[in-house]
Every structure is written in structure tokens, then in C-alpha cells.
Amino acid sequence: MTPSGFVLLDKNPGDTSFKALFPLKRVFSTKRVGHAGTLDLRASGLIVAAIGRATRLLPFVEAKDKCYTFRLHLGYETDTLEWDGDVVVQGEFGIRNSEFGIDEGVILREQGDRRIQGGLTRENLEAVLPQFIGDIDQIPPRYCAVKIDGRRASDWAERGKDFEMKPRRIHIESLKIVGEGGVTECCSGKCFATFDLECVCSKGTYIRSLGRDLARALGTYGCVSQIRRHRIGNITLDGAVKGENLTAENLVPVDKVLDYPVLRVAEDGLAVIRRGNWLPWKNNVEGIGPEGYVFVARENGEVLSLCRFEPGRIWPKYFLGGDD
């Protein structure tokens, strides 16, 4: 019987999110695995993976907000928006660029009642951060998994095809500087400043695009490195495991990842749910969210179904018991 549950992975930079799932297939002897929220090839950090019927719950995990850290390199922009991509524009601080308003050592973009002169400082960057808080429209990178005419944008970019990336509405809850002056090896361009930032954002946010747009708000060019995802919803890297260290003991029950109320039901009630029928439920349910989702479990706490609660009854949505 294939188990059902989640595995919290700490992805290594250089592995694809797909490759990060290989240890799950080996340890749990199944091909029924999936993950919530793809990480870029060069990015590292938290991936919530699922085994068996728990894969049905991945959209609920992916909808949660995420927390990332990353390094912003100011001074050049690459095709991939990463620090080691092919340089498409090199913008030494102070070189004239009419699009972003740089002229003779002075960035002309107004910052309140003053202008940025000479070297760019932490205060200059902090002054533009509020522009990116809340709901904003963001254009994804050309090298990404967004589908254009049925193919990934990155596939078209590699073939040299000309195409347009349309903006998407995202939400950034918070954005702050957590360090500056760090050095990343193998930069393909020359940067005049680096800053480390932390971002809490919605599903669909591209950190690479955020770095590009932060630089442009400052009147220069930028790219990023060291993207690392630390949190998805309430789940953090603290409980994550490297793929090479994965064992069967790292399987996490679904109710430890999705914090829906758990209703313990006798076996005859579980049989009703298992057949896809609604179950009468007259008790109050504490902690229920606006979606109305609850887990239904055996009396020993083993979760067997995701259901939707409405006053007086429980409707089954997904059966989550182990595969036969």
C-alpha cells in the first residue's frame, strides 16, 4: 500500500524541482509524487512534496504565501535575470540611459524632495521599497515556465523567438533589506552595489523580476542571486530534509501542513464519507476558515478525507487514505 502524506524538502541549488522528487520515488516506491510551487534551477529552499493521494492537496499548499531571501546585484541585467546569465545591458552607475533617467553620475529619479547623487546607498533602496508593497503588476522573466502558444517561455527564449510576456497581478506583503555588500562568485557583469532582501509574497511572484524592477525603480539595471525559499504558509525550512537524507520517517501527516480542523468520526460515518455521501454533523466546528474545509479522521487521528463543512452536514471532497 502506498502511503499518503507530505514531505518537506530542502532543495539544493542546481537541481530542478522535478529532480528533487527522485528520492521520494525511491524511498516510497511510487511514481505518484508531486510538489507545490516550482523553484528556479539556481534557487534553493523549501519544497512541499506529496505522496499518494495527498497530491490532490497540493493546490491548497501552493496557494499559500511564501517567504524568500535573495541578493540584488545593481549595475547590469542578464537574459535570465540571474547573476551569471548573458549580459544584455551593462549600466555603470551614472551612464546615461533615457529610459531610466541616469545622467553624468546623478540618478535623476526623484526620491521625495531629494535626488540620489554619487553612490547608491541603503537609504536609496529603502526609499523605493514601498512602491512594491501590496497588489502590483509584474512581468515574468522571459526564461520561465509560463506557457506561450502551448510552450514554455524559456523554450521560445532559447530558440531566439520574439514574444511578449504579459503582466500578472501579484501581492507582496513585505519587503525589507537584511544585508548589503555581499559577494557572489561568477558574476557575468559588473555591479556597483549588492543588497540582501527578504520578501513575503503571493503565489506567482517571480523574485528575478522583482530584482529587475527594483533596479529600474532606482534608475539602473539589476539581477539576482542566492534565491532561497524559507516558508510556505506556516511551514518553514526548520522541518525540511535534504533529498539525500530522506527516509520514510520524514513523511508528514496532511493535517500538519494544512491547518484545517480535524473531525474524528466513527467507522460507520467514515464509510458514508468513503462512498462519497454527505454526513450529518450537528456539532460546532472551531477554527474553520472561509473556505469551510475540514479533515475527517478516524478516532485515532488518522486523516482519511478532506471535506467541506456547512451547517448540519459534511460533504466529502477528496479521499486521502492510502492507495491499495
What is the set of active-site residues?
40
Is residue 207 within 8 A of residue 83, CB to CB? The reply is no
Cell of 322: 492510502
How many Å apart are CA 105 and CA 118, to the nearest integer?
A: 6
Phi, psi of 312 (to 5 degrees): 95, -10
How many Å apart are CA 313 and CA 299, to the nearest integer?
A: 18
User: Which long-range CB contacts under 8 A does 116-121 form with residues at least 24 apart?
Assistant: 116/218, 116/219, 119/93, 119/192, 119/193, 120/74, 120/93, 120/192, 120/193, 120/218, 120/220
SS3 of residue 238 by DSSP: helix
Is residue 178 within 8 A of residue 142, CB to CB? The reply is no
* Partner residues linked to 102 by β-bridges: 97, 107
**DSSP class of residue 37?**
S
* Partner residues linked to 74 by β-bridges: 193, 222
Pairing mode, strands 293-297 and 303-310: antiparallel
Of 101, 61, 51, 67, nearest to 258 (Cα)?
61
